Amino acid sequence: MTRYLPGILAMAAVVVASNILVQFLFGQWLTWGAFTYPLAFLVTDIMNRVYGPAAARRVVFAGFLVGVACSLVGTQIVGEFGPLVTLRIAIGSGLAFLTAQLLDVAIFDRLRSGGWWRAPVVSSLIGSIVDTALFFTIAFSGALTFLEPANDVSWANEALPLLGLGPVVPLWVSLAFADWMVKLAIALLALIPFRLITRKLTTQVA
């Protein structure tokens, strides 16, 4: 269990940092949390490559528990427009994280015997699609207002051009698309540290 501790601590750091940075905007469509959260896939994939899927799932569950704790704290902090974390955001965040990360673990394990880059790319790509779709739909879609009737998400459903340029869609769709593009970009960039770290750790384990 001790050898998994660095992975658990890294995942916890990513989750805590993302929960804090998501409160701060980066431009019109993103928050700073969009740049740290995708690193969760990097942590999961490194653990999976070096120690196997069981270890990776332990790290995921640890991150999930940290995320739940962050959400509970966030619900008690009231900002200008109410609690920093609403019930819908808490549900969406937890469900999206757990589903996407466990899916990432399963896909990575299925592809681990292929080229070194294929498993992390495909698993992170599919995981990030699921993560983004689940979180933004649960947290902001007007079709799910029954989850938290007192939470006004009308601002997120304002009809606007996609990223200010494309077809007219609810605002939350633009936010989700921008978020996913960042996840994809970081997944590709993360191949470099993934290769370097897994090489070093694999040598140490061997």
Lowest mean pLDDT among 11-20, 46-55, 72-81, 142-151: 72-81
CA-CA-CA-CA torsion for 11, 12, 16, 21, nearest 10 degrees?
A: -20
pLDDT value of position 79? 62
pLDDT value of position 81? 59
CA dist list (Å): 101 to 44, 125, 184: 7, 11, 15
Nearest-CA neighbor of 68 among 48, 38, 45, 89?
A: 89
Query: How wide is the angle at C-alpha 127 spanned by C-alphas 75 and 35, nearest 5°?
Result: 60
144 touches 137 (CB < 8 A): yes
Task: Examine the pLDDT at 199 and tell me if it is beyond 70.
Answer: yes
Other Cβ atoms closer than 10 A to 30: 17
55 touches 7 (CB < 8 A): yes
Other Cβ atoms closer than 10 A to 143: 9
Q: What is the mean pLDDT of residues 186-205?
A: 92
pLDDT value of position 80? 60
Domains of the chain: 2-141+182-205 (1.10.1760)
φ, ψ at 161 (rounded to 5°): -60, 140
Confidence tier at 86 by pLDDT (50, 70, 90): confident
Question: Distance (Å, rounded) from C-alpha 178 to C-alpha 28?
Answer: 10
Query: Over the stretch 108-117, which tens digit does the pLDDT of each residue have?
Result: 999 999 899 9
pLDDT value of position 22? 87
pTM of the model: 0.93
pLDDT value of position 7? 95
pLDDT value of position 71? 86
pLDDT value of position 206? 57
Question: Distance (Å, rounded) from C-alpha 174 to C-alpha 136?
Answer: 10
One-letter amino acid identity for 30? Answer: L
Q: What is the mean pLDDT of residues 3-26?
A: 91
> 169 has which bridge partners?
160
Mean pLDDT of the chain: 92
